[in-house]
Structure 1
Amino acid sequence: MMLLENKTAVVTGAAAGIGAAIAQRLAEAGANVVLTDVDTAKGAELAAALAGRGLRAHFMRCDAGDLQSIAAMTAEAIAQHGRIDVLVNNAGVTRKIPILDLTPEDWDWIQGINTRGLFFCMQGFARHMAATGGGAIVNIASIAGKGAKATSNASYAASKAAAIVMSRVAANELGRHGIRVNAVCPGATRTALLDELERANPKGFQAMLDETALGRFATPRDIADAVLFLASDLSSSITGQSINVDNGLMWD
């Protein structure tokens, strides 16, 4: 079923991991996908691989921590495609930092991309969608933003809480323009980072796994499926929500 046929979607942070899975899933659902990332080599390689499968995808460089880069990407995507129907704000950064070691530079790096960058990317495309009859925005947050104990650092958790709250405010204000805004909150997800954790701390890894109701971790494809649902008309009456994809780790 081509849920996004004749739609154009922008996916930020799409060169690898969850972002790459989202871009692939939306393309498979019929969307014309604009992949953006700061990693030009990987992003272009993925876009070419998708196009090689007969899917519609191309790459556009964007630094999600640079407002000028975001504005330029937004304008270029609109100019090339005429209408953007879906925005997936996936770009984000983090690393493990104990709270007593978190520096102002660490804080600003994370907030600049995960919070400031996310907001202004959302704002730019929302202005376009408001003028063209609506659309769907999906912000990638995290269960860390809902109080999950296992998180990389305090600034990251704060940025993901902000993503959830900004999604709610945006949904409330933009609904009259036909724009739906939701957040997806992944739990631990099978990426290279999680594999590294398993190797470094197998006991801690198993303890975290044991906390899930389903006894497994999500895959990037699981996250992508939730995004596709929220981006498509299957969720036409859903807005302002934050949906956990965590195999039952949290019940909020």
Structure 2
Amino acid sequence: MALYADRGAHRPSPAGAGGRPMTTTTPDRVALVTGAARGLGACIAGRLYGAGYRVALTDLDEAAAVAAAADLAPDGRNAIGLGLDVRDKDAFVRVRDQLVARWGAVHVLVNNAGYSKVEPLMEITPDSFGSVVSSNLDGTFFGCQVFGAYFAGRGYGRIVNIASLAGQNGGSATGGHYAAAKGGVATLTKVFARELGPQGVTVNAIAPGVQDLPVVRELVAPEQLARIEESIPVRRLGRPEFIADMAVLLAADHADTVTGACWDANGGLNMR
């Protein structure tokens, strides 16, 4: 599991202490978030729901996705949980078709799903490398491809990809394969942004640093976590709620001149 986590136990929250980000969004927008059963994905889904979106929380763990959606909307009207293996392009097509049948359209895709296995760089096996890259990079590519084409056909869409500080600075604490995959996510974001921009579709990325998620505190010893915090210029871990607010802003209707960008939120660990 990665320190620059896409996942981890975190209850979806439609609103936080900082309130909702200021956005301009047409009513009845529909958003799909991958890897949304827990962690950062659940937080993003909760913020989108709180901003008025109908939200599909998808995850490899379908039961957990359904439970997370029920936490947001017990009546199931405006939030649903669905199973989705992002390594399978056809699975994206099926989920897209389900959402169109249910809500009439999809307007936003957040590619958040990811996986890592912390292991020494020189001991990463071909199978391990392939597994991590397929979950992080292949999944993002398939999502952008399937929904990018769909959005382009409609003349509107927002895609937000979750990259990582690890992909920017070559950090291997979360695994060299994870860093390589997330670096690829940042590049894919630019590629799809150029391709889809003329069709009214924006594609952007967010690159979080170490987030204050339960999974991080479970995996990292307190003394090691203290050293990590001390190394961050702002001397604190990131807030997943803020990353979620960034995603909501990039998903908004009026975010139409921001595309191909990668927004950093790493506490100053990587400045450029």
- What's the TM-score, normalizing by structure 2? 0.86
> Corresponding residue for 2:258?
238
Residues in 1 aligned to 2:120 and 2:217: alpha-carbon distance in whole angstroms: 21
Residues in 2 aligned to 1:62 and 1:104: alpha-carbon distance in whole angstroms: 24
> What is the deviation of 1:180?
0.4
Higher RCO, 1 or 2 (CA under 8 Å, sep at least 6)?
2
Cα separation, partners in 2 of 1:226 and 1:119, compared to 1, 3 Å: same
> Corresponding residue for 1:23?
45
Q: Structure 1 stretch 44-53 or stretch 97-106: which is displaced more?
A: 44-53
Residues in 1 aligned to 2:118 and 2:254: alpha-carbon distance in whole angstroms: 37
Q: Does 1:223 align with 2:223?
A: no
State the secondary structure of the residue aligned to 1:238.
coil
Aligned length: 250
Q: Does 1:193 align with 2:197?
A: no
Residues in 2 aligned to 1:243 and 1:179: alpha-carbon distance in whole angstroms: 18
Q: Is the 8 A contact 1:74 1:121 kept in 2?
A: no
> What is the deviation of 1:133?
1.5
Q: Is the 8 A contact 1:2 1:30 kept in 2?
A: no
Question: Could you tell me which amino acid in structure 1 is paired with residue 231 of structure 2?
Answer: E
Residues in 2 aligned to 1:226 and 1:12: alpha-carbon distance in whole angstroms: 16
Q: Does 1:78 align with 2:78?
A: no
> Corresponding residue for 1:154?
176
Structure with more of its chain in helix, by fraction: 1
Q: Is the 8 A contact 2:48 2:248 kept in 1?
A: yes
Residues in 2 aligned to 1:173 and 1:192: alpha-carbon distance in whole angstroms: 38
Residues in 1 aligned to 2:82 and 2:75: alpha-carbon distance in whole angstroms: 19
Structure 2, gaps ≥5 residues long: 1-21
> Corresponding residue for 2:17?
none
CA shift digits 1:21-47 (9 cap, x unpaired): 000000000001011111122111111
Q: Is the 8 A contact 2:121 2:172 kept in 1?
A: no
State the secondary structure of the residue aligned to 1:19.
helix
> Corresponding residue for 1:248?
268
Residues in 2 aligned to 1:212 and 1:64: alpha-carbon distance in whole angstroms: 32
> What is the deviation of 1:203?
3.6
> What is the deviation of 1:81?
2.4
> What is the deviation of 1:236?
2.4
**Identity fraction in percent:** 36
Cα separation, partners in 2 of 1:171 and 1:98, compared to 1, 3 Å: same
Q: Does 1:112 align with 2:152?
A: no
Q: Does 1:213 align with 2:246?
A: no
Give the one of 25, 34, 38 matched to 1:12.
Answer: 34
Structure 1, gaps ≥5 residues long: none
> What is the deviation of 1:3?
4.2
- What's the TM-score, normalizing by structure 1? 0.93
> What is the deviation of 1:2?
6.5
